[in-house]
Chain A
Amino acid sequence: MAQITLSNLAHTYAPSGEQESDFALKTLNHVWQEGGAYALLGPSGCGKTTLLNIISGLIMPSHGRVLFDGTDVTGLPAEKRNIAQVFQFPVVYDTMSVRENLSFPLKNRGLAGAQIQARVALIAEMIGLEDILDQKARGLTTDAKQKISLGRGMVRESVNAILLDEPLTVIDPQLKWELRTQLKSLHRELGHTMIYVTHDQVEALTFADTVVMMHEGRVLQMGTPESLFETPKHTFVGHFIGSPGMNFLDASIEGNHAVINGQPVPLGANYRNPCGHTQIGIRPEYVQFTADGGLPVVVRHIEDLGHRRIVHAELERSPILVSVPEGCPFDSTMTQVRFIPEKINVFTDSWRVEGETF
């Protein structure tokens, strides 16, 4: 286990790229604490896989340094860094048995037979592979194969970090729940530093203690799942986190209330004359339908998800989504919406502004 430090790290695939647009990864300083569970979240092409491959040593960064416990490893190749990686598609050695697959990384490092056996048995038990240990890996189901990949990553005790590159993409939704739970308990019991790359916000938020939200090669926000959900620093974070994402409405801000289409909306904090393009952001979960005392909306259509309904509405021609939980009253007389003041975020030019609480 190790603390991983990224110092002035940046990467461009263009050989002589000096323009900012050439950079797949823009300058970044960060410390990954020992034993932490991190998620790198972002859409395709946001640079998250590049960053992961730089940490694992599969890509040499064009700028900056990577340090493991203070030692510079920037120039070290993947095999010398003592890290483990799990890929999007299961990578197993087809001709080996499950047991041989799991012991392979240990055997290559010259561990004693008894030690290998004990460790393999422990890991197999934790991931639920003990019944098929002596089967050939070829011909197993995709989720069993992905468990093997996961197990090969976990099997080394001394590993500096475990990097997971969208490991649940090929798994059926119901099985994801089981694998996620196992991943969590592995992290808790083995205490490895884990970095999980994904485009799926649910996977990121549920796995990580700290989520790093990336967009166009830049880190937009880093924080707990709760802070990304409640107080996104950038409108893109608000849009990307949550399903559906945050609603954004153009508004002018006057102290402790916002004005939308001439109507005042109370805010949970005081804002001093923010300048630029101002918007308020409110999550569909924090919008409530009401018969009176709110902003008038026109309901366009309703998606019923069983445990909640997503109502697509329009507020003066801006679309607004409302999440109505199962059992919550909602009928055609409710044509107005109200926002929970404490849950409203204010953005100027796409960046969140901090209000003064009163």
Chain B
Amino acid sequence: MAKIQNNKAWLLVLPVLVLVAFSAVIPLMTVVNYAFNDTFGNNQFFWNGLGWFEEMVRSERLHAALGRQILFSGIILAIEVPLGIFIALNMPKRGFWASLCLVLMALPLLIPFNVVGTIWQIFCRIDIGLLGRGMTALGVDYNYTNDAFDAWVTLIVMDVWHWTSLVALLCYAGLQSIPDAYYQAARIDQANRWDIFRYIELPKMSGVLLIAVLLRFIDSFMIYTEPFVVTGGGPGNSTTFLSIDLVKMAIGQFDLGPAAAFSLMYFLVILLISWVFYTVMVTRDAGGDS
């Protein structure tokens, strides 16, 4: 639909542009500066070209972190998306219980990330945590601070607890928009439960589902706070994801050049994946009806 053209309106955007320039563009340029130069302090820079980038692309440490990151995002999506759909399909459609479910589901989404981390960090401690002590009491050898597998399980369960609601709520909204007539027609056509899901529910909620997958992917790919609070990237480097590694590199070791190159590549990867999602969504909409 054509909107009214009025170029004066651009002036209204100016304050935001200035703000963004200070908060994002200028820091970003600093990062770019660090990425292409080497420095030994005193604000003295030496041109390093693509040196840092080459080093980072070949860095085994980075490869390992990237591998862990992809694995983590993959597992998260593989659990949260089907689980979210399943929960949405089984939520009451209307009435008191529907409202109650919605409120309960929204609760985890309202908690700040570091609080979530702290809650689970304490919850899982084998000395004072309810879960940790409970598991130990049941004879399960569980200790996320020195067992890599246990640490992974803890982080995944925490993320599922925190974020499945988002997927479920989005799917629920998609499902609510399907008129009853579709379900009635399907019953009359003797479609089974799977057919109803496959031919009615999934096509009708595919739009919101794609958004949910995109959001969850980006968020999990950039995850920092919760694993930092719970495991700090350990034991060893077993839960050192990309962003944690980046911080270790930049702030811990003060390798600003490699870290800058690394963060630029990180940024481009996320941009690339978001673009792929966007293209898929747009072509899908164009193929569909209004």
Direct contact of A and B (CB under 8 A): yes
B189 at the interface (CB under 8 A from A): yes
Report B185 CB to chain A, min CB distance, Å.
4
B225 to chain A, nearest CB (A): 40
Indicate whether A79 reaches chain B with its CB closer than 8 angstroms. Answer: yes
Residues of chain B in range 145-165 having any CB-CB distance to chain A below 8 Å: none
Residues of A in contact (CB 8 Å), total: 25
A85 to B192, CA, bound (A): 17
Q: Which residues on A sit within 8 Å (CB–CB) of B289?
A: 94, 138-140
Chain A residues positioned under 8 Å from B195 (CB to CB): 108
B190-233 near A? 1/0 per residue, CB < 8 Å: 11100100011001100000000000000000000000000000
- The one of A56, A78, A85, A95 in contact with B203, judged by C-beta atoms closer than 8 angstroms, is A95
**CB of B144, distance to nearest CB on chain A (Å):** 44
B112 interface residue (CB < 8 Å to A): no
Q: Mark B1-36, 1 if CB is under 8 A from A, else 0.
A: 000000000000000000000000000000000000
A335 interface contact, C-beta 8 A: no
Per-residue B-contact encoding for A129-166, CB less than 8 Å = 1, 0 else: 00000000011100000000100100000000000000
Nearest CB in chain B to that of A109: its residue? B190
A77 within 8 A of partner (CB): yes
Whether A58 contacts B184 by the Cβ 8 Å rule is: yes
Q: Judge whether A152 and B287 touch: CB under 8 Å.
A: no
- B182 lies within 8 A of A91 (CB): yes
Interface check A32, CB cutoff 8 A:
no
- Give A78 to B1 CA distance when docked, in angstroms: 43
- Which residue from B179, B181, B187, B199 sits with its C-beta under 8 Å from A78? B187
Say whether B185 contacts A91, CB under 8 Å: yes
Whether A108 lies near B187 (C-beta < 8 A) is: no
Q: Is B95 an interface residue (CB 8 A)?
A: no
Contact with A along B269-290 (1 / 0, CB 8 A): 0000000000000000001110
What separation, in Å, do the CA atoms of A113 and B226 have in the docked complex?
Answer: 55
Contact residues of A: prevailing secondary structure: loop
Report if B188 contacts A (CB, 8 A).
yes
Q: Min CB distance, B166 to chain A, in Å?
A: 25
Interface flags for A86-118 (1: CB within 8 Å of B; 0: not) read: 011101011110000000110011000000000
Q: In the complex, what distance in Å separates the CA atom of A95 from the CA atom of B195?
A: 12
Contact A105 B189 (CB under 8 A): yes
B195 — nearest CB in chain A belongs to which residue? A108
Tell me the bound Cα distance from A111 to B179 in angstroms. 29
Choose from A56, A88, A95, A139 the contact partner of B188 (Cβ within 8 Å): A56
Q: How far is the CB of B178 from chain A (nearest CB, A)?
A: 10
Q: Are B187 and A95 in contact (CB under 8 A)?
A: no
- Complex Cα distance, B180 from A56, in Å, reads 14
**Quick check: A108 and B185 within 8 Å, CB to CB?**
no
Verify if A212 is at the interface (C-beta below 8 Å from B).
Answer: no
The listed residue (B190, B200, B287) touching A139 by CB distance below 8 A is B287
Report B-chain residues with C-beta under 8 Å of the C-beta of A124.
none
Q: Are B188 and A138 in contact, CB atoms less than 8 angstroms apart? A: no
> Given A79-B187, A95-B199, A108-B192, A138 and B288 touching (CB < 8 A)?
yes
Say how far B189's CB is from chain A's closest CB, in angstroms: 4
Separation of A325 and B262 alpha carbons in the complex (Å):
85
Which has the most chain A C-beta neighbours within 10 Å: B179, B182, B199? Answer: B199
Q: Nearest-CB distance from A169 to chain B (Å)?
A: 12
**Contact A89/B179 with A94-B203, A94-B288, A96-B199 known, Cβ cut-off 8 Å:** yes
Question: Per-residue 0/1 for A31-73: is the Cβ within 8 Å of any B Cβ (1 yes, 0 no)?
Answer: 0000000000000000000000000101000000000000000
* A interface footprint on B164-185 (CB within 8 Å = 1, 0 otherwise): 0000000000000001011011
Q: Which residues of A have CB within 8 Å of B203?
A: 93-95
Scoring B185, B188, B192, B287 by chain A CB atoms within 10 A of each residue's CB, the highest score goes to B188
A77, B189: Cα distance in complex, Å: 12
Tell me which residues across on chain B come within 8 A of A85, comparing CB atoms.
Answer: 184-185, 188
Closest to B182 in A: A91
Q: Are B189 and A108 in contact (CB under 8 A)?
A: yes
A91 to chain B: which residues have CB within 8 Å?
179, 181-182, 185
- Shortest CB distance A108–B (Å): 4
Give CA–CA (A84, B204) in the complex, Å: 23
Chain B residues within 8 Å of A89, by CB: 179, 181
CA distance A86 to B200 in the complex (A): 17
In this assembly, does A83 line the interface, its C-beta being within 8 Å of a C-beta of chain B? yes
6 more A-B residue pairs beyond the given contacts A79-B190, A89-B181, A93-B200, with a C-beta to C-beta distance below 8 A: A56-B184, A79-B187, A84-B188, A88-B181, A105-B190, A139-B289
List 29 interface pairs A-B (beta carbons < 8 Å), by A numbering: A78-B184, A79-B187, A79-B188, A85-B184, A87-B181, A87-B184, A87-B185, A88-B181, A89-B179, A91-B179, A91-B182, A91-B185, A93-B200, A94-B203, A94-B204, A95-B199, A104-B191, A104-B199, A105-B188, A108-B190, A108-B191, A108-B192, A108-B195, A109-B190, A138-B288, A139-B287, A139-B289, A149-B185, A152-B189
